[in-house]
Homo-oligomer: A and B are copies of this chain.
């Protein structure tokens, strides 16, 4: 074989590979989405902002998309998974705290009496959160979260929590990356509760996770620097806190925002307020058969009538889980 014909074969292989890639690219990037208005809105938006010369064109650096987590990327029933984590932690820590048997809200919790826990109101919830989330170093807390997420099971499905994620949203994330987007989580959940697993579960690295936080303190322990988690709130990344968190961590205005509840309204407003091509979407939990159906009356993931009215007024797209998603969880049908 002459050097030239060898090169020709390499070229042919290269071109064949390029063509295969191109055919693959022409496949439906959102196979779990029904061919309805939600999917059309996504595809039209991505086409508009990525096509050079189009009126909505946005440079890759400015293609920032933000996602709420609870109820948007993963489920949030029967209660926020981080709350279930806190309950599990109280049970795990109980042997070291014999005094909890007599002390509320711990006593109720250890008896399995959730009504008794909630009777203490916000003060009780805050106490449970601080006992389970503060007092250790950041490295220790990260390991606690890693251990829990690797072993804990959802009370209804018996699945690991990391499988209770929405397949259509995983496809949406991949579709946005393929089109030059940088994606961030902007969640009311704890920033340090999410970061240990978001890369593995969603493909979103820790530096692109924004969330609520408690204060930390830097100190030396046995000559080693540590950050100690203090029982003091630092930032609540919910409602008006979401645009503040976005400004603090991203420093750019997103062009696309995905949420599911009243806590996401301001982040959608902030996204839309930037002008130019924008996409705002809200996941509506209306599928009692495959997931849960809840909304205006729910204390978790409240989707109020006011939010629905705002969505209609502002042109935000409401995703019906029942109609727009052919598959909800990755494990379906497996």
Where the two chains meet, the residues of A that have a C-beta atom closer than 8 Å to any C-beta of B are 4-5, 7-8, 10-12, 15, 61, 138, 182, 191-192, 195, 199, 205-209, 213, 216-218, 220, 224-227, 240-241, 243-244, 247-252, 266, 269-270, 273
Contacts and interface: CB of A to CB of B under 8 A. Distances in A.
Q: How many copies does the complex hold?
A: 2
Tell which of A8, A138, A217 has the most Cβ of chain B within 10 Å: A8
B251 A225 contact: no
A223 B1 CA distance: 72
A243 B270 contact: no
Contacts of A270: 218, 225
A247 B224 CA distance: 16
Contacts of A15: 7
Please name the 7 residue pairs, one residue from A and one from B, whose CB atoms are nearest each other, closest first. Answer: A206-B251, A218-B240, A7-B11, A225-B273, A195-B251, A225-B269, A4-B8
A244 B269 contact: no
Contacts of A4: 4-5, 8
Given A7-B8, A205-B61, A213-B248, A243 B227 contact: yes
Tell which of A199, A241, A244, A251 has the most Cβ of chain B within 10 Å: A251
A288 to B, nearest CB: 34
A236 to B, nearest CB: 12
Contacts of A10: 11
